[in-house]
């Protein structure tokens, strides 16, 4: 995670991740308790099936991101190469045309 953001942004990313993790735990615990209480008489293990579905969804999303990570990296590299080429072209011509402002 730290390799994908600037050094001065790392703290912000980790604090956002901690906030999301805390909020997710609170919401999921509340939802699971509600499902358990609602299905206690009919199907007491419904909350387990719901939790398994949530984990399955998380596994599927992580697997997808793992599978396409090379394509994402290649796309980022090609954009950086293009920016480098544009700045080299601007330096060779002496003009501001083609310069990339960051």
**What are 24-50's pLDDT values in tens digits?**
999 999 999 999 999 999 999 999 999
pTM, rounded to two decimals: 0.57
pLDDT score of 43: 95
Angle at 40 between CA 36 and CA 41, to 5 degrees: 160
- The mean-pLDDT minimum among 15-24, 54-63, 67-76 falls in 67-76
Q: b/e per residue, 25-60, with b = 16+ CB within 10 A?
A: eeeeeeebeebeeeeeeeeeeebeebeeeeeeeeee
The answer to whether residues 82 and 55 belong to one domain is: yes
Place of tokens 């544009």: 86
The answer to whether residues 36 and 61 belong to one domain is: no
Whole-number average pLDDT of the chain? 82
pLDDT score of 56: 98
Measured in whole angstroms, the distance separating CA 83 from the mean position of its chain's CA atoms is 24
Q: Does position 77 have pLDDT exceeding 80, yes or no?
A: no
* Number of independent structural domains in the chain: 2
Whether 28 maps to a domain, the answer reads yes
The answer to whether residues 38 and 58 belong to one domain is: no
Q: Does position 92 have pLDDT exceeding 80, yes or no?
A: no
The 10 Å Cβ neighbour count of residue 18 is 10
Rounded Cα distance, 3 and 11, in Å:
13
The answer to whether residues 30 and 64 belong to one domain is: no
């Amino acid at each position: 995670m730290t390799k994908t953001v600037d050094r001065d942004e790392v703290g912000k990313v980790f604090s956002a991740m901690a906030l999301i993790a805390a909020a997710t735990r609170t919401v999921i615990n509340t939802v699971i308790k509600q499902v358990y209480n609602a299905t206690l008489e009919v199907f007491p293990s419904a909350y387990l099936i719901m939790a398994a579905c949530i984990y399955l969804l998380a596994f599927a999303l992580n697997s997808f991101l793992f599978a396409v990570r090379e394509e994402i990296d290649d796309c980022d590299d090609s954009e950086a190469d293009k920016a480098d080429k544009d700045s080299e072209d601007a330096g060779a011509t002496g003009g501001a045309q083609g310069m990339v402002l960051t």
